[in-house]
A = this chain, B = another copy of it.
Amino acid sequence: MKSHLTPLEPKADKATVRRHNLSLVLRAVHDVGETTRAGVATHVGLTRGAVSSLVEQLLEYGFVTEGGKTSSGQAGRPGTVLKVARSGPAGLGVEINIDYIAVCVVDLAGTDRVRVVEHVDNRGVPPSEVLAHAAGLAARAAGSAAEQDLAPAGVHVALPGLVTGGTVRQAPNLGWQRVAVEGLFAQALSALRPDRRALPVSSDNEANTAALAELWYGAGTEGVRSFLYLTGEVGVGGALVLKGELLRGAHGFAGEIGHVVVDPGGPPCRCGARGCLEQYAGQAALLRAAGIGADAGVPGVAELGRRARRGDPAALAAVEEAGRRLGVVVSGAVNLFDPGAVMLGGAYRELMEWLAPAVERELALRVVSGLWTGGGKRLRAASPLGDAARGAAGVIVREVLEDPVAYAERERN
Q: Give the B-binding residues of A (Cβ under 8 A).
A: 1, 3-10, 12, 16-17, 20, 23-24, 44-46, 162, 169-170, 172, 224-226, 238, 240, 242, 247-257, 259-261, 264, 271-273, 276, 324, 328-329, 331-333, 335-340, 362, 365-366, 368-371, 399, 402-403
The answer on a CB contact under 8 Å between B370 and A170 is yes
A264, B333: Cα distance in complex, Å: 15
The answer on a CB contact under 8 Å between B259 and A403 is no
Question: Which residue in chain B gives the minimum CB-CB distance to A46?
Answer: B8
Choose among B250, B255, B368, B371 the residue that contacts A271 (Cβ–Cβ < 8 A): B368
Stoichiometry (number of copies): 2
| In the complex, chain B residues whose CB is within 8 Å of the CB of A20 | 3, 5
Known: A17-B5, A250-B226, A369-B253. A240 touches B170 (CB 8 A): no
Q: How far is the CB of A273 from the nearest CB of chain B, in Å?
A: 5
A225, B250: Cα distance in complex, Å: 8
| In the complex, chain B residues whose CB is within 8 Å of the CB of A365 | 272-273
A-B contact pairs, 29 of them (CB 8 A): A1-B402, A3-B23, A6-B6, A7-B45, A7-B46, A9-B45, A10-B45, A170-B368, A170-B370, A172-B368, A225-B250, A238-B336, A242-B242, A242-B247, A248-B338, A249-B338, A250-B338, A250-B339, A251-B338, A252-B338, A253-B335, A253-B338, A253-B369, A253-B371, A255-B338, A259-B332, A260-B332, A329-B332, A332-B332
The answer on a CB contact under 8 Å between B403 and A1 is yes
Tell me if A's interface is mostly helix, strand, loop or mixed.
Answer: loop
